[in-house]
Structure 1
Amino acid sequence: MATFDWQGCYQALLNELNNEGQERWSNLLTQQLRRRFEDNPHGDIARWMAALAQLPDVSDTQARLDTSAVTLRAETLLNESQLEQLESGLRGLMPWRKGPFDFFGTYIDTEWHSDWKWDRVSPYLSDLTGRRILDVGCGSGYHCWRMLGEGAARVIGIDPGLLFLFQFLSVKKYLGDVPVDLVPVRMEDLPGKLESFDTTFSMGVLYHRRSPLDHLLELKDTLRRGGELVLETLVVDGPEGYSLMPEDRYGQMRNVWFLPSCDTLMRWLDRTGFRDARVVDVTETTIEEQRQTDWMRFNSLVDFLDPDDHSKTIEGYPGPKRATIIANKP
């Protein structure tokens, strides 16, 4: 059975880390990748590799990374056979949850309108030009590509989901040697006290953590002095000090632990040493933003809400509302 060439995939990143004096991270990451792909490989890797191999070679690819869909185009139109190969390969990587993407006219309408989230967040960001960025819980890397489109010098996304990695590689196949990588590790797998990023994003992660304060401290450790945190998470209405802890599931998700009020979240950031924290957006998640599509055919948000009252989850909790906070490391 063919094995995933993780060394070929990540050697450039590992070399870069070594050259930047990050040998500790490079050595740790090498061990983690070896364990992930050699010692205990995922049973679907061969299928995802086969799907990736189906994607046709296109020599004259150009990318638009500043539009709603991460868009790939070629000077020469793909022929019918190439388009069939393309769609077959991309469908072999379903379900597509974060996007959208446009591969040479094949439009992937993902479950999430991740572009809507980017449009809400991006007006409040510091200029990303030349910045080194970490995207925690990056999914398929949609926002990583948008960050590169905004001028980032280097983007590293982390997400343990291996299907997300192969979806990311389906884009990178056509872009070649660009300073964006997706590493299949968790936040807690990073070495402590990295202090090497200008901006760290954590969007849709905090409520999955049993200890949200530890997550905030881990995020702070990734940033250089003066670095910027972009935090997006589920919140609920309530006074400072209030936080909802679901009895079991929230919107059918088992791994939801704490949904704070915005004032509580601001207190958490203050207690973990961030400064100048400000809430820049609060938006209710709708069934237009997260929904089933032809590229994600499983249950989606509408199935997780009270069918008679979409302001509540199916368990009776307040429906999903997301806040974005930007803060700085002093």
Structure 2
Amino acid sequence: MIELQPFLTRMARTRLGAWSPALTAASRFRLTEDMHGDLLRWETALAELPNIPVETIQLNSAAVGCQPAQPLAHELAQELREALQRLHPWRKGPFSIHGIDIDTEWRSDWKWQRLANAIAPLDGRLVLDVGCGNGYHGWRMLGAGAELVLGIDPTLLFVMQFLAVNRYLRRDDIAVLPLATTDLPPTLTGFDTVFSMGMLYHRRAPLNHLEELRRLLRPGGQLVLETLVCEGDERQVLVPPDRYAGMRNVWFIPSVAALKIWLQRCGFVGVQVIDISRTTVDEQRTTEWMCFQSLADQLDPANAMLTREGLPAPTRAIVLAERSER
């Protein structure tokens, strides 16, 4: 059973504390229902992580992690590497755990660099990271001064990866719970900042997702939204007929102009675009820590501006907005 109590005890001392019991119950339900075939292997990998004293913790460098007081002996380093490798594939990162560099599929630090200086300062803020994966960005949020970071992601492997990292960082002000937004208490609200990065295009009803995010924020709180976008005016929305870059679960890709309208219609104000970037094969790629196909395999071999399906290659925008007072 994932140990939730240290984080929930910390959360209970904030204005979000009233929802701690409901989050505990929802998490336990999901853990009971999700009988993943690899769960035993992942739990074994966690149990086999060696005990290594931590000398320093790094949250503000590209590779989140920790360093030992002295370099590990070869046998101990190999034991650590093998245990972490059993949690393959590692999608978000990078991490560096006691000298073991986890070169993840995504250079998630690049995305953080694009937004870190543009968002409202996180000092003392209560933060929610929706679809957080293994929690990489949550660690960067803590490094930026957040008081508490709640990450949610229903993929149990990502929860296990977070636990592996936190085995050594030992923080009780961050957690990744095995939940989707639909698992959250319907009355939950009050976050100062809500991140939703790489989620909107996976939702069959994207406006419903934006309304969920608005409810979770306090009035005046900030939404940090990162999503796929297409070119065009406010009427342009790309609807892939089948797969998009190999993914079946991509439903709607709006233009930036359309996305602004969506946000305004859902009760957000002060909408501003802080970055538009084409995703490259340097930012998302296959590594020894993620050995499956990645972006390069999903682009047209003759034209990198197109996916294999003949659709525009991935371009992503980061948009900030505030919850209106109404």
- TM-score normalized by structure 2? 0.95
| Aligned residue type for 1:255 | N
| Aligned residue type for 2:315 | K
Counterpart-to-counterpart distance in 2, 1:91 and 1:40? 22
Of 299, 302, 318, which aligns to 2:293? Answer: 299
Counterpart-to-counterpart distance in 2, 1:100 and 1:23? 32
* Higher alpha-carbon deviation: 175-184 or 139-148: 175-184
Q: CA deviation at 1:60?
A: 3.0
Matched residue, 1:177: 171
- Does the 8 A contact of 1:109 with 1:294 survive in 2? yes
Shift in CA distance, 126/21, structure 1 to aligned 2, threshold 3 Å: closer
Matched residue, 1:209: 203
- Does the 8 A contact of 2:53 with 2:69 survive in 1? no
1:48-96 Cα distance to aligned partner (Å, 9 max, x none) = 1111122111123421110111131011322222101100101111111
Instruction: Output the aligned Cα RMSD.
Output: 1.5
- Does the 8 A contact of 1:195 with 1:225 survive in 2? no
- Does the 8 A contact of 1:200 with 1:223 survive in 2? yes
Matched residue, 2:315: 321
Matches within 5 A, 1:21-36: 25-36=19-30
Matched residue, 1:13: 7
Higher RCO (CA-CA < 8 Å; seq separation 6+): 2
Q: CA deviation at 1:30?
A: 2.9
Shift in CA distance, 166/148, structure 1 to aligned 2, threshold 3 Å: same
The answer to whether residue 269 in structure 2 is matched with residue 285 in structure 1 is no
Counterpart-to-counterpart distance in 1, 2:121 and 2:88? 34
* Higher alpha-carbon deviation: 145-154 or 19-28: 19-28
Shift in CA distance, 105/22, structure 1 to aligned 2, threshold 3 Å: closer
Matched residue, 1:97: 91
1:214-246 Cα distance to aligned partner (Å, 9 max, x none) = 000000111111100000000000011210111
| Aligned residue type for 2:288 | D
Counterpart-to-counterpart distance in 1, 2:208 and 2:272? 20
Question: Runs of 5+ in structure 1 lacking a partner?
Answer: none
Matches within 5 A, 1:124-135: 124-135=118-129
Matched residue, 1:312: 306
Shift in CA distance, 101/17, structure 1 to aligned 2, threshold 3 Å: closer
- Alignment length, in residue pairs? 324
Of 96, 112, 117, which aligns to 2:111? Answer: 117
Counterpart-to-counterpart distance in 2, 1:307 and 1:27? 51
The answer to whether residue 236 in structure 2 is matched with residue 231 in structure 1 is no
SS at match of 1:115: helix
Matched residue, 1:166: 160
The answer to whether residue 230 in structure 2 is matched with residue 246 in structure 1 is no
Matched residue, 1:139: 133
SS at match of 2:117: helix
Question: Runs of 5+ in structure 2 lacking a partner?
Answer: none
- TM-score normalized by structure 1? 0.94
1:179-228 Cα distance to aligned partner (Å, 9 max, x none) = 00000110111122422210000000000001111000000111111100
Matched residue, 1:42: 36
Matched residue, 1:155: 149
Matched residue, 1:198: 192
Counterpart-to-counterpart distance in 1, 2:320 and 2:33? 39
Counterpart-to-counterpart distance in 2, 1:113 and 1:143? 11
Tell me the percent identity: 48
SS at match of 1:84: helix
